[in-house]
A and B are shown apart, each in its own frame.
Chain A
Amino acid sequence: MSVIEIKNLTKHYGKSRGVIDVNLEVAEGEIFGFIGPNGAGKSTTIRTLLGLIYPTSGSAKIFGKSCIEQPEVRKEVGYLPSEVFYYDNMRVIDLLKYSASFYKKDCSKRINELAEIMDLDLKKKIDDLSFGNKKKVGIVQGLLHEPKLIILDEPTSGLDPLMQHKFFDLIEQESKKGATVFFSSHILSEVQRLCSRVAFIKDGRVIKLEKMSDLRENNYKLIKVEAGSQLDKSFFAMPGASKLEVKGSSVSFLFKGDINKVVKKLAETSISNLLVEEPELEEIFMHYYAKEG
């Protein structure tokens, strides 16, 4: 059974677009990346999933249940919003205890563990915390009940690199324990490190859904060629090539498909240098959006 099942999900805010016909399935134990620029519909999808907003049409289910009809299914969900706000006049520990009281199990041990990992002072007032420290409260708050599904909406903003590292370790541990992770971000490097599959969303539509390994290893090569003489731009214009850039005698492009074709093409001319690289995910990403836009 899929942990997350989104079917033909459409959401309009009045006349403006939220998301259009989104279909996603996330299997148990997966770390799923959800990538898109700001305003693409990531948060809309997540909020519909959590039952915070109502779909215009289609459905979004967690563990086969809709959060709107069966709110108790949220017992298994830990959510970390991109911006965290809590009751300012509470102390951290009181907030965490209040949060734990919704799950009807003893979470105090886990709270202390997590606070130690994240280096969080439980006695402070939330009002007195910096943005980064509030985020840490959010992380502890989202994980204290050992949820089976962890939903992260741009989780790393406001965390320093060291804390980001600890946070990712934490997520990886939870994943090893069997938790499913749904991870939205516009920063690709963080997704690259953790996720097994990734969906790209743009202008409210999921435009691509791929396995991370496919995305990285099989599909795209970044090819840089230094030619002996000036090369015509059309020379490498073949099916599968994209982001073609010509600067004097050097050419670079992304290539997806049968690499032999490139080799044959290269044999037709004389070159002085050749580099074939794994592209950074960032470049593939930019490529998607540039092409669509």
Chain B
Amino acid sequence: MNMYLHELKSLRKSTIIWTCALIALAALYFSVYPGLVKDAADFKKLLGGYPAPLRAALGISLDNITSLLGFYAMVFSIITLGGAIQAMNLGVSILSKETRERTADFLLVKPVSRPAIVSAKLLAALTVLLATNVVYYAAALIVADMVKTADFSSTVFFMINSTLFFIQLMFLALGFVISMFFKKLKAVLPISLGVVFGFYIIGAIIATGKNDAERFISPFKYFDITYIINHASYEVPYLITGAVIVVTAIAASYVIYARKDIHAVS
């Protein structure tokens, strides 16, 4: 419990900043929505001028771009990118913190087992992500209500936003396991940005092909927002794959961390 609280405290500032950033981003996009609805026809014509693959890569669906949820689908791909970076950063940094800040000689000689340390940190990271999602969801809902021109399904809105948490879970787990393979991790940001943007670009390229099998490659493509809007449900195979990735990565992290040699600082 003490480790959990300690981690939470040290994550407080960055969590607040990330949450505010995500909310600000969503609010910024939403602020143009009323204007967009007014000039719906022109806007559609403009977007129609874009080549179809580019539209797909940006997550733009012409049919429902002017509905609030359709518009949000486009906005949301940026939000998930931000959220993924937050989660990946968290995952890569939280277990490697002791070696990076050279505090391993403090924490790891305390009368606690390595798995207990992983659990405390994992729990703290989950709490942070959950808090980010809850606050972001509440804020997004308020803003969406303010700018809406017609009623929208709050269930679908909730389902879309929940995918942020699922995607973050995947990147958190990936971050955990990736950090295990570094003996001394000096900088977190290059790794997390590299991995997240890598998957994002792969996701954008895949989107143009519309091949369902390829979508397994990038976590960003596990949740097709247009599908969610049309069916009010998730695509089960991707949901299961996501869960498998999370469980495997976390389990591997426990095993590797417990067997790791913690070297002296130099």
Contact surface of A with B, Cβ cutoff 8 Å: 13, 43, 47, 50-54, 71-75, 77, 79, 81-89, 98-99, 101-103, 141
Contact = CB atoms under 8 A, between A and B. Distances in A.
Task: Give chain A's interface secondary structure class.
Answer: loop
A83 B2 contact: no
Interface residues on B, range: 20 to 34
Contact of B105 (A85, A89, A101): A85
Given A88-B101, A101-B2, A79 B109 contact: yes
B259 interface: yes
Nearest to A67: B109
Contacts of B101: 85, 87-88
Contacts of A81: 105, 264-265
Given A85-B105, A86-B103, A99-B106, A53 B111 contact: no
A87 B6 CA distance: 10
B110 interface: yes
Nearest to A48: B261
A101 to B, nearest CB: 4
17 contacts: A13-B261, A50-B109, A53-B262, A54-B259, A71-B112, A74-B110, A74-B111, A77-B109, A79-B105, A81-B265, A82-B264, A85-B102, A85-B105, A86-B103, A87-B103, A102-B110, A102-B111
A47 B2 contact: no
Contacts of B116: 71
A83 B101 CA distance: 12
Contacts of B112: 71, 102
B104 interface: yes
Given A81-B105, A87-B101, A141-B106, A47 B111 contact: no
Nearest to A88: B101
A18 to B, nearest CB: 10
B121 to A, nearest CB: 14
A53 B261 contact: yes
